[in-house]
Amino acid sequence: VTGTRVLAAGDHFLLTTLLREALRDELGDGCRVRELTLPWPAEPYRPVSEVDEASGDENRLIEALAGAEVAVTQFAPFTRKVFGRAPRLRLVVVSRGGPVNVNLEAATEHDVAVCHLPGRNADAVAEFSFGLTVATCRNLAAGHASLAGGGRWPGHFNQYGHAGMELSGATVGLVGYGAVGRRVGRLFTACGARVLAHDPYVADLEPGVIRVDALADLLAVSRIVSLHQRLTERTRGQIGAAEIGLMPAGSVLVNTARGAVLDYDALCDALDSGHLAGAGLDVYPVEPLPAGHRLLRTRNLVLTPHVAGCSRDVARRAARRCAAEVGRWARGGPLANCANPAVLEGTSVPEVS
Ligand SMILES: NC(=O)c1ccc[n+]([C@@H]2O[C@H](COP(=O)([O-])OP(=O)(O)OC[C@H]3O[C@@H](n4cnc5c(N)ncnc54)[C@H](O)[C@@H]3O)[C@@H](O)[C@H]2O)c1
């Protein structure tokens, strides 16, 4: 453990200081921590060379990595070029559910183990999704906007036609029942909703949650549909005009998953026609949303700027979980979440001393 050389590449959410303190707590003062701070979220993440959702540039990362055996980051661009120029590197810990900013194939070829943190912000996203649903169903954001934007007391929210729907007794359909979907299900169940879930890859549902094998069957009966599936080739564009058309008139759609799972033009059409009563969105087809985008002009939307996963607890916990993974690696113990375990069968992990 003593002398382990680590690059802590933080940003303005997962602070470099949080990473440094967590590494010191885990490895002791003997570890040598070099620091780099990436520009996210002051600059949105973007594709860098062949990797996605990255922040900062390859050359500065290569410079900062000089001599490092371990790197800990949320968004640094670990591309083929970076692995080719960091010969001592043996471990990259990415504080995200999926390490999409790492070229996994290149990491494996260069004998670098890549670890990630599945479900790292699942509680934050679940609580936020639940809140976004309440805000969408009960005029919470619209009421605030009416009052704050001029102080006019808006009586129309008390008219029957504008009044919202309760979650208690509503049928809620979850598309995707992973770390987030499962937690969202618990929150809806607790307030008396009937919860359905569609996820072809999950067998164990919690008590009270009803499995629905065909997506169309779930959509046809859900007054609230909440999206929690991973973006894959199969889920890209999964919710389009036909799927929205299956939802009962007056229902609500919430998306905190990824923009590409939903056809936003079809969503705006359904809001304009009144088929959907409202929608709550945290993720978009393009981020940041360009000025003048149709979503910014469509009524009955509650919009938040991709913040569901951002709580201070997430940043602090992520720093500690990353440091714990580095500690396991440095002591030669088994890693908790390695995305390319084939590397560990080589000689890259130090012996227990
Ligand atoms: N808005 C935010 O800030 C934020 C933060 C974190 C995660 N997310 C997104 O939230 C979503 C859920 O995250 P998670 O941590 O629960 O991921 P997860 O991998 O634990 O769960 C995703 C689930 O999607 C399911 N799935 C895959 N293909 C499907 C299909 N065709 N139909 C239905 N389900 C399918 C998987 O089986 C899995 O259970 C992801 O899209 C993730 O990118 C958003």
pLDDT tens per residue across span 310-344? 999 999 999 999 999 999 999 999 999 999 999 98
Look at residue 208 in the predicted model and tell me its pLDDT: 94
**Across residues 140-158, what is the average pLDDT?**
88
**Across residues 139-151, what is the average pLDDT?**
88
**pLDDT (tens digit per residue) in 245-292:** 999 999 999 999 999 999 999 999 999 999 999 999 999 999 999 999
As a whole number of angstroms, the distance between CA 225 and CA 261 comes to 13
Q: What is the mean pLDDT of the chain?
A: 95
Contacts 24+ apart (CB under 8 A), 100-103: 100/51, 100/52, 100/53, 101/45, 101/48, 101/51, 101/52, 101/53, 101/54, 101/73, 101/75, 101/76, 101/77, 102/51, 102/78, 102/339, 103/50, 103/51, 103/78, 103/79
**pLDDT (tens digit per residue) in 94-138:** 999 889 999 999 999 999 999 999 999 999 999 999 999 999 999
Give the 3-state secondary structure of residue 278. Answer: strand
**pLDDT (tens digit per residue) in 23-65:** 999 999 888 999 999 999 999 999 999 999 999 999 999 999 9
CB of 340 sitting under 6 A from ligand 1: no
**pLDDT (tens digit per residue) in 169-226:** 999 999 999 999 999 999 999 999 999 999 999 999 999 999 999 999 999 999 999 9
- The question of whether 156 is a catalytic residue gets the answer no
Give yes or no for a contact between 208 and 195, defined as CB atoms under 8 angstroms apart: yes
Helix, strand, coil abundance in the chain, percent, nearest 5: 35, 20, 45
Q: Name the active-site residue from 186, 287, 316, 331.
A: 287
Whether the predicted pLDDT of 349 surpasses 50: no
As a whole number of angstroms, the distance between CA 165 and CA 159 comes to 13
Look at residue 274 in the predicted model and tell me its pLDDT: 97
Q: Return the residue whose CA atom lies nearest to atom 5 of ligand 1.
A: 309
- The question of whether 228 is a catalytic residue gets the answer no
φ/ψ (deg, to 5) at 153:
-75, 115
| Ligand 1 atom at minimal distance to the Cα of residue 282 | 1
As a whole number of angstroms, the distance between CA 33 and CA 256 comes to 35
As a whole number of angstroms, the distance between CA 260 and CA 99 comes to 18
**Across residues 153-163, what is the average pLDDT?**
90
Give the pLDDT band (50/70/90) at residue 152. confident
As a whole number of angstroms, the distance between CA 278 and CA 228 comes to 18
Give yes or no for a contact between 182 and 207, defined as CB atoms under 8 angstroms apart: no
Give the pLDDT band (50/70/90) at residue 346. low
* Nearest one of 63, 108, 74 to 90, comparing CA atoms: 108
Which residue blocks in 191-277 are alpha helix, DSSP H?
215-221, 241-246, 264-273
**Chain position carrying tokens 């033009």:** 265
Pocket test for ligand 1, best of 180, 182, 261 (most atoms within 8 A of CB): 180
CB of 173 sitting under 6 A from ligand 1: no
